[in-house]
Structure 1
Amino acid sequence: MEQLLSQITWWHWLVFALILFGVEMVTSTFDLLMASIAAALTAIFASVAPESATAWHVQILVFMFASVALIVLSRSVFPNMRKAAPEHPTLNKRMVQLVGQRGEITREFNGGQGQVRIGDTVWGAEAADGEGALNIGDRVVVDSTRSSMVIVRKA
């Protein structure tokens, strides 16, 4: 075993760093990312340090200390790195995105229902509670939504 370990060179560490990085891309733990960076730093150490200072046990110590230091540093300096980014509250919620938008009445409100043009789309609409008569051309604001209908009030 010692004979095998004594043949470790900088490119072994580089391959190990790439393998760890590949596994990190699949698992998203961020700890393997730090270990991958530590392996890359060990590869740099093994390539630039004098041969007398790059014995296999020294290389493994450099890797261990660098891994632990980077993991501790990443967990203390970047504690939120592991948290998933919150979803935007209206992402993929088309009807919710319409609340507050301004539009124009395109069809008379009969029985409390009509049509409103908001942007380049015509929506089925209902008058908000207590809203007076809404006529074609009136400017309205979307107060809320229900199913695929917008609830509007005069702007």
Structure 2
Amino acid sequence: MEFLAGWIAGQKLWAWFALALVLIGLEIFAPTSFLIFPAISAAAVGVLVLILPDMAWEIQFLAFAVLGLISTWFGRRWLKRFRQETDHPTLNKPIARFVGHRTTLHEPLELGEGQIHMGDTLWQAVTGESVTIPAGTTVEVTAVDGTVLKVRVVESENG
């Protein structure tokens, strides 16, 4: 057992590079542009341990923490320059296209909850009021909350 503990203690250089690779791998599968900066910090600490092999583990962790915070802060600021604003704010939110659309209820909304037809799909809908809205009533989608459409009754245009 002492042999294993000694061997692991002697591998501190490679542990930092392994951590960097694991973080890069996680970044590949969850592209958030967040894990790449701690990965760079882990690799930098690995290089520091390569240059200064007698560096205490406390100093290594401190260096990783400080480098991680600094690189993440600067990296996020740097990445903001490449973020593009879109003239289509609902581009990746296809359900948001229903806001403002009207439909006629095929079935009542019991106590303000039920399903409505939008296009060829049934969607969960809520009114925010605990009243039953009868079938045949025209409703308008006012907002979207996840996959639930928030609707309101459209007043009759005849009076």
Give the TM-score band, short-chain normalised. 0.3 to 0.5
Looking at secondary structure, tell me which structure has more strand per residue.
Answer: 1
The TM-score, its normalising length taken from structure 1, stands at: 0.46
Q: Which has the larger radius of gyration?
A: 1
